[in-house]
Amino acid sequence: MRIISGTLKGKSINFIKNSTTRPLKDSVKENIFNILKHSNLIDVKVENSNILDLYSGVGSFGIESISRGAKKVTFIEQDKNAISTLRENLTKLSVVPKTAIINNKVENFFKVKTNKKFNIFFFDPPFENNDFTQILYLIKQHKVYEVPHIIIIHREKETRDKLDDLMYTVMSKQYGRSKIIFGIFK
């Protein structure tokens, strides 16, 4: 797995093979960043953004964001093996100062009051996880989003999540098994 563009272009990222984490395919990741950069429908750019990478795994999306100029990325992941590999990646790439790591369940991040606000939210929950919509509700309830902001959700293409009450879908794209949903809070 490699970083596609930016200051870290071409550098490799370690990943783990297990049943609880799956890497974001480079082709899907590249399409996400192309949409962020070039779409007239999205007001948020990666450069100078604060990013919340939920269910971050080994950090592929967040690290790519740092390479492309993100101000700060907060990674949330509960799997200890994934966190260990994420820490190795951040250290190897010398980007630790631009990051925060929370080794916990995603929902626990919102149990503590935070003054942090984010421009980009990247959700990559396990495909069988349907509870992530509660996290959208908590983000909205706690108002931890900037204006403008963008929510990016990576799901299996057959999933039918009920998102209309929480967010306005700006666009949805399919890439093989993957579906990427871009949205903003209503």
**Residue 100 is part of a domain; what is its CATH number?**
3.40.50.150
Tokens of 19: 């049943």
Give the number of other CB atoms < 10 A from CB of residue 130.
14
User: What per-residue confidence (pLDDT) applies to 34?
Assistant: 95
18 inside domain: no
Per the confidence metrics, is the pTM higher than 0.85? yes
Identify the DSSP state of 167. E
Task: Let me know: does 66 contact 8? Beta carbons within 8 Å.
Answer: yes
User: What per-residue confidence (pLDDT) applies to 132?
Assistant: 85
C-alpha 136 chain-centroid distance = 13
13 inside domain: no
Q: What angle do CA 42, 47, 53 make, to 5 degrees?
A: 80
User: What per-residue confidence (pLDDT) applies to 19?
Assistant: 54
Task: Let me know: does 100 contact 71? Beta carbons within 8 Å.
Answer: no
21 inside domain: no
Tell me the pLDDT of the chain (186 aa) as tens digits: 899 999 999 999 998 876 556 678 888 999 999 999 999 999 999 999 999 999 999 999 999 999 999 999 999 999 999 999 999 999 999 999 999 999 999 988 887 777 899 999 999 987 777 788 899 999 998 899 999 999 999 998 888 778 888 899 999 999 988 899 999 998
138 inside domain: yes
Sign, CA dihedral 146-150-153-154, equals negative
161 inside domain: yes
Tokens of 36: 């962020």
50 inside domain: yes
User: What per-residue confidence (pLDDT) applies to 21?
Assistant: 61
Helix (H) or strand (E) holding 137: helix 132-142
**43 phi and psi, to 5 degrees?**
-90, -5
Total of domains in the chain: 1
30 inside domain: yes
Residue span of the structural domain in which 176 resides: 26-185
32 inside domain: yes
